[in-house]
Chain A
Amino acid sequence: MAHEGVTRLGRALKTSPPGMLGISVLAVLLLMAVLAPATAPYGPRERVGRPFQPPGSRHLLGTNDVGQDILSEVIWGARVSLTIGIVAALAATSVGTVAGCAAGYFGGLVDGVLMRTVDLVLVVPFVPLMILLAAYLGPSLYNLVFVIAGLMWARPARVVRSQVLSLRTRLYVEAAKAAGGSAPHMIRRHIVPGVLPLVLAEFVVCASLAMLIEASLSFLGLGDPLQKSWGTTLYYARVRGAFLTGAWVWWVLPPGLLITLTVLGFALTGFTLEAHCGPRLARRGAGR
Chain B
Amino acid sequence: MRGRLGTRAVQYGVLIFLTVALNFFLPRAMPGSPLAYLAGEDVGLMSAEVRREVLARHALDLPLGTQFARYLGNLVRGDLGHSYQRGRPVAEIIAERLPWTLLLTATSLVLSTLIGVALGAWAAWRRGQSSDLSLLLVVMFFRSMPSFWIAVILVAVFAVGLGWFPIYGAYTPWLVATGWERVLNVLRHLALPVLSLTLIGSAETFLVMRYAMLDVLGEDYIATARAKGLSERVVLYKHALRNALLPVATVFMLNLGFTVSGATVIETVFAYPGLGRLMYEAVLSRDYPLLQASFLVVTLAVVLANLLADLLYPLLDPRVRLSDGA
Contact = CB atoms under 8 A, between A and B. Distances in A.
Interface string A66-99: 0000000000000000000000000000000000
B306 A260 contact: no
Given A260-B149, A283-B208, A136 B26 contact: yes
Nearest to A129: B295
Nearest to B205: A285
A interface: dominant SS? helix
B172 to A, nearest CB: 18
Given A267-B144, A285-B255, A131 B279 contact: yes
A260 B141 contact: yes
B286 to A, nearest CB: 8
B283 interface: yes
A264 B247 contact: no
Interface residues of A, number: 47
Q: Which of A116, A220, A288 has the most CB of B within 10 A?
A: A288
B interface: dominant SS? helix
Interface of A: 18, 116, 119-120, 123-129, 131-132, 134-136, 208, 212, 215-216, 219-222, 231, 234, 237-238, 243-244, 248, 252-253, 256, 259-261, 263-264, 267-268, 282-286, 288
A130 to B, nearest CB: 9
Given A120-B14, A131-B283, A252-B156, 13 more contacts: A123-B303, A125-B257, A135-B282, A135-B288, A212-B146, A216-B265, A234-B149, A237-B152, A243-B156, A244-B156, A244-B167, A285-B201, A288-B201
A222 B279 CA distance: 13
B145 A260 contact: yes
A126 B257 CA distance: 11
Q: Which of B144, B147, B153, B200 has the most CB of A within 10 A?
A: B144
A131 B276 CA distance: 10
B272 interface: no
A267 B152 contact: no
A268 B175 CA distance: 48
Contacts of B250: 282
Contacts of A132: 22, 26, 279, 291-292, 295
Contacts of A260: 141, 144-146, 149
